[in-house]
């Protein structure tokens, strides 16, 4: 077998648990590269072997044992992706301890709620930024006995707080491994939720192992493949597909420095696999359009031709179209256009996963046409998380693909997508009522997403609770419209309003540099949210984005806001989903103004 195709797959039955997966990987390939990280001191990328990881896990387990933690106790981690995240996770799992991941940028009141709700005994944080936000809120968390910081924090006055190296120095004796069963609880992952308090999703070792293995049956991963990890490990997509899956396959994971450095890291690491949310692809796409706008008509013609010919090539390879003479142009267009785009993503991608939200089919078509193998999938934290995904040889980007092997799906009442399988959660922590509401007696998880299934592929059609019903009874899918509008780089954020109203309106947050260019073109200065001309310009751009939607799905009024929606102001969840109810409550006055009779335009 050639090195390019060499595989070393650990079966779920051989691993039994997530800690067993780690120990089996160490046993099989102790000297192989496990993780790659940027060494800031030397300014180079450095490698960490599986044997080195095992030695560190042993040290951390000894320190955990000093805390008196026992199987079933809960510990939490609130740190950026790194080998430390993996070491802490594996040290805890090996002792039968339940790991609760927390987003590094989550609000302090949310963190305190999760600590209290899960009865967390120990918390690992990254350093001063987290501590400054959390210190006041954690004072009243009685279950929390120890806080360990990876980076040093100056004297805090809280006796529970220790620096990592000091804490590790307390560990004595031989490392221990608890007897853990596949059905034991491995993690509690709090869903960010766009309304109300987050709920703790309980996932077992087997839930996650089975999901990682199912993913490996549809996407080939070799031992020399490199994954670039930048989505937070507190997100189950990154944790399962970007952490446990590479471990199961024996691949290498490089931890990106930051989102700000992502463009450089892509070029330096040259990953084979990339796991991302749509926003990353949308930003690259918006930048491409911005650069094309500055170039002449020849450059724009060549770009569009490359996308069209490349897409035709894709459809021919998929067996859905017959070869046309234009395909002869592909080698030239590849060198002149496509290779320059793929180079931005490292130039070596074998697969690029898009999940967490819907990626507009038109944007997916551009990347696929230019040679970036984007596979859109679908999942939920409650399903560990992947339910379905397109395949390299069967990729229809307007769908979320067929279900994974071993995952059952069907369409229930109101076209709701139902899911059943070994990856479906054990339930919500301390919340039997909500568990019964979404998990029925036959084991079907009620996703809340509307779907249809055609030719074995799943197509999402909306959310049960996110369909806008206008006063005239017409039903509108706001998320589809919002995705279409944000394809215009002027719009950073948008929500559509209109439930029970006579027409649709929009609240938008503008991208300031792009808006300044538009303003100059129209002889406007700055952003005057009350200027009727601003509204007219924005409505014209929105209408252009929505040209494919029905006539009743058109935006009649728009209000632009100056403050972006963020996690800090409570208008985004930590997974960057808009808290629609919170935005509408905060902007109640602006919404009412858009529906005043004097301002209405039927």
DSSP, residue by residue, 104-148: TT--HHHHHHHHHHHTEEEEEE-SHHHHHHHHHHHTT-TT--EEE
Q: Is the pLDDT of residue 348 over 50?
A: yes
Average pLDDT over residues 395-414: 95
User: What whole-number distance in Å separates Cα of residue 72 and Cα of residue 596?
Assistant: 57
Tell which wins on pLDDT, 193 or 224.
Answer: 224
102-123, pLDDT tens digit by residue? 999 888 888 999 999 999 999 9
The pLDDT, as a whole number, for residue 473 is: 65
Q: Is the pLDDT of residue 195 over 60?
A: no
468-594 to CATH, choices 3.30.300.30, 3.20.20.80, 3.10.310.70, 3.10.129.10: 3.30.300.30
pLDDT band at 601 (very low <50, low <70, confident <90, very high): very low
The pLDDT, as a whole number, for residue 526 is: 66
Q: Output the average pLDDT for the chain.
A: 90
HEC sequence for 312-381: HHHHHHCCCCCCCHHHHHHHHHHHHHHHHHHHHCCCCCCEEEECCCCCCHHHHHHHHHCCCCEEEEEECH
Average pLDDT over residues 173-183: 83
562-585, pLDDT tens digit by residue? 789 988 888 888 777 788 888 988
User: What whole-number distance in Å separates Cα of residue 153 and Cα of residue 164?
Assistant: 10
Q: Is the pLDDT of residue 598 over 50?
A: no
The pLDDT, as a whole number, for residue 175 is: 66
The pLDDT, as a whole number, for residue 599 is: 39
Q: Is the pLDDT of residue 551 over 80?
A: no
Predicted TM-score (pTM) of this structure: 0.83
The pLDDT, as a whole number, for residue 280 is: 83
User: What whole-number distance in Å separates Cα of residue 449 and Cα of residue 410?
Assistant: 12
The pLDDT, as a whole number, for residue 5 is: 61
The pLDDT, as a whole number, for residue 577 is: 78
Average pLDDT over residues 548-566: 84
Q: Is the pLDDT of residue 176 over 60?
A: yes
Q: Is the pLDDT of residue 94 over 60?
A: yes
Q: Is the pLDDT of residue 602 over 60?
A: no
The pLDDT, as a whole number, for residue 576 is: 75
Average pLDDT over residues 236-258: 97
- In percent, how much of the chain has pLDDT > 90? 67
> Cα 71–77–79 angle (5° rounding)?
160
The pLDDT, as a whole number, for residue 156 is: 77
Largest Cα separation within the chain, whole Å, is 77
HEC sequence for 446-497: EEEEEEEEECCEEEEEEECCCCEECCCCCEECHHHHHHHHCCCCCEEEEEEE
The pLDDT, as a whole number, for residue 597 is: 55
Secondary structure (3-state) at 252: strand
Domain locations in the chain as residue ranges: 468-594
Q: At what angle do helices 50-66 and 18-28 cross, to 10 degrees?
A: 140
Burial of 516 (0-12, 13-18, 19+ CB in 10 A): middle
29-73, pLDDT tens digit by residue? 999 999 999 998 889 999 999 999 999 999 999 999 999 999 999
The pLDDT, as a whole number, for residue 527 is: 66
- In percent, how much of the chain has pLDDT > 70? 95
The pLDDT, as a whole number, for residue 125 is: 97
Q: Is the pLDDT of residue 192 over 60?
A: yes
264-286, pLDDT tens digit by residue? 999 999 999 999 888 788 888 88
292-336, pLDDT tens digit by residue? 888 989 999 999 999 999 999 999 999 999 999 999 999 999 999
């Amino acid at each position: 077998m050639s090195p390019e195709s060499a595989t070393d797959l650990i079966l779920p039955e051989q691993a039994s648990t997530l800690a067993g997966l780690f120990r089996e990987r160490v046993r099989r390939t102790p000297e192989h590269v496990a993780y790659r990280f940027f060494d800031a001191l030397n300014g180079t990328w450095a490698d960490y072997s599986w044997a080195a990881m095992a030695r560190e896990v042993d040290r951390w387990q000894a320190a955990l044992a000093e805390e008196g933690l026992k199987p079933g106790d809960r510990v939490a981690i609130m740190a950026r992706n790194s080998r430390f995240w993996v070491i802490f996770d594996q040290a805890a799992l090996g002792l039968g301890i339940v790991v609760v991941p927390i987003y590094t940028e989550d609000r302090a009141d949310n963190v305190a709620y999760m600590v209290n709700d899960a009865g967390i005994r120990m918390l690992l944080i990254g350093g001063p930024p987290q501590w400054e936000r959390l210190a006041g809120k954690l004072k009243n968390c009685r279950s929390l006995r120890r806080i360990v910081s990876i980076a040093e924090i100056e004297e805090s006055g809280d006796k529970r707080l220790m620096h990592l190296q000091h804490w590790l120095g307390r560990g004595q004796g031989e490392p221990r491994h608890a007897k853990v069963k596949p059905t034991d609880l491995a993690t509690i992952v709090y869903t960010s939720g766009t309304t109300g308090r987050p709920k703790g999703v309980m996932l077992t070792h087997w839930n996650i192992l089975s999901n990682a293995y199912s993913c490996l049956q549809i996407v080939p991963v070799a031992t020399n493949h490199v994954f670039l990890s930048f989505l937070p490990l507190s997100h189950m997509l990154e944790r399962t597909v970007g952490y446990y899956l590479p471990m199961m396959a024996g691949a290498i994971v490089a931890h990106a420095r930051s989102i700000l450095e992502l463009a450089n890291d892509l070029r330096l690491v040259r990953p084979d696999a990339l796991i991302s949310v749509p926003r990353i692809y949308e930003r690259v796409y918006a930048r491409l359009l911005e650069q094309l706008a500055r170039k002449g008509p020849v450059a724009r013609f060549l770009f569009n031709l490359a996308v069209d010919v490349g897409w035709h090539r894709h459809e021919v390879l998929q067996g859905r179209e017959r070869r046309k003479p234009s395909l002869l142009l592909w080698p030239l267009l590849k060198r002149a256009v496509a290779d320059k785009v793929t180079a931005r993503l490292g130039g070596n991608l074998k697969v690029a996963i898009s999940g967490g939200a819907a990626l507009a089919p038109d944007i997916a078509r551009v990347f696929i046409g230019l040679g970036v193998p984007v596979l859109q999938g679908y999942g939920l934290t409650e399903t560990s998380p992947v339910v379905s995904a397109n395949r390299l040889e069967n990729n229809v980007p307007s769908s979320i693909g067929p279900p994974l092997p071993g995952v059952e799906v069907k369409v229930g009442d109101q076209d709701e997508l139902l899911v059943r399988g070994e990856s479906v959660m054990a339930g919500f922590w301390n919340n039997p009522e909500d568990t019964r509401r979404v998990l029925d007696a036959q084991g079907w998880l009620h996703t809340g997403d509307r779907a249809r299934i055609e030719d074995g592929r799943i197509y999402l059609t909306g959310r049960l609770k996110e369909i806008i019903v206008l006063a005239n009874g017409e039903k509108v899918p706001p998320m589809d419209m919002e995705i279409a509008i944000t394809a215009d780089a002027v719009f950073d954020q948008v929500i559509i309003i209109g439930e029970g109203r006579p027409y649709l309106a929009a609240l938008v947050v503008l991208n300031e540099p792009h808006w300044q260019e538009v303003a100059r073109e129209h002889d406007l200065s700055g952003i005057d949210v009350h200027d009727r001309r601003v509204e007219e310009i924005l409505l014209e751009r929105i209408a252009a984005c929505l040209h494919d939607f029905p006539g009743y799905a058109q935006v009649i009024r728009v209000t632009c806001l100056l403050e972006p929606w963020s996690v800090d102001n409570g208008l985004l969840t930590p997974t960057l989903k808009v808290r629609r109810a919170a935005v509408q409550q905060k902007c109640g006055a602006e919404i009412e103004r858009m529906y005043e009779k004097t301002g209405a335009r039927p």
